[in-house]
Amino acid sequence: MFPASNKAAGQCMGMPDVCNVPAPPAPPVPTPFPNIAMCAQAQPGSFSLKVKVGGANALVQTSKITMSSGDEAGSLGGVMSGMIKGPCEYKMGSMKVKFEGKGAAHLTSMVAQNGSNPNVPAGQQIAPSQVVVMVN
């Protein structure tokens, strides 16, 4: 069982996020960075409006966090996505616990980070939002 995720706290991370770092006069250097997204920045409308976990809106498998960080030094963009500080999207949630018909997001849920063609296709939620409500 894992702690359910909410909009109050929690952190998602993916590694490596390979971005192009400028190195004039040489060509850009592909460099791996951690990519971090905070659950508190979940996009309005992508989380449950009716279900609260620990007093905050519950996140579900379709929740989207609008901005990530950690790859700012790769200012020429991600090798795959071409962007930095891109969105983070939950890709999997609980198979047994549903909030408004969608799988509940939880600690260890798989996320894709940094764009629709993500630089980090398999990140995870690594810090819990709360530790009282557990899902399976």
Taking the model in full, what pTM does it have? Answer: 0.89
Q: What is the pLDDT along the chain (136 residues), one digit of tens a residue?
A: 899 999 999 999 999 999 999 999 999 999 999 999 999 999 999 999 999 999 999 999 999 999 999 999 999 999 988 889 999 999 999 999 999 999 999 999 999 988 777 778 789 999 999 999 999 8
Q: Where are the beta strands (DSSP E) in 1-136?
A: 2-3, 11-23, 26-38, 52-53, 56-57, 64-65, 68-69, 88-90, 98-99, 102-103, 110-113, 120-127, 134-135
Buried/exposed 77-105: b ≥16 CB within 10 Å, e otherwise: bbbbbebbbbbbbbeebbeebbbeebbbb
